[in-house]
């Protein structure tokens, strides 16, 4: 078992690319990236990470909704209005907003 703290920093796009080939490794990298980036003041990266988490947890409606909600908040903070609309539409379709 690898230690999460020993993993390199990875951006959201690299983690998303890793999901199909190494789901466990992608999960470790995603967890680490979310922890390291929380409170960073970079809403765009947090938005991207939570969007990757939605993809990662796609089979679990509640976990995916948790990350989709966080992505929505960071999209608002980042002023990414296209993401705001898309996420709001998805949350509304799930009856979560």
> Distance between CA 38 and CA 20 in Å, rounded?
25
Residue 81's pLDDT is: 98
Mean pLDDT over all residues of the chain? 90
Contacts of 8 (CB under 8 A, 6+ apart): none
> Distance between CA 92 and CA 97 in Å, rounded?
5
Q: How many structural domains does the chain have?
A: 1
Residue 15 domain-assigned (yes or no): yes
Residue 3 domain-assigned (yes or no): no
Per-residue pLDDT for 59 more than 60? yes
Residue 76 domain-assigned (yes or no): yes
Residue 1's pLDDT is: 45
Show the tokens assigned to 71.
């992505």
Per-residue pLDDT for 4 more than 60? no
Mean pLDDT along residues 71-77: 97
Backbone angles phi, psi at 79, to 5 degrees: 75, 25
Could you report the per-residue pLDDT of 13-45, keeping only the tens digit for each? 999 998 999 999 899 999 999 998 888 888 999
């Amino acid at each position: 078992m690898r230690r999460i703290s020993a993993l390199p920093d990875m951006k959201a796009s690299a983690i998303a690319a890793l999901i199909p080939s190494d789901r466990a490794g992608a999960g470790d990298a995603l967890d680490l990236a979310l922890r390291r980036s929380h409170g960073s003041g970079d809403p765009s990266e947090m938005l991207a990470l939570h969007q990757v988490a939605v993809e990662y947890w796609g089979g679990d409606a509640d976990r995916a909704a948790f990350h989709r909600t966080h992505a929505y908040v960071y999209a608002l903070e980042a002023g990414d209005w296209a993401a705001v609309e898309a996420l709001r539409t998805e949350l509304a379709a799930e009856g979560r907003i």
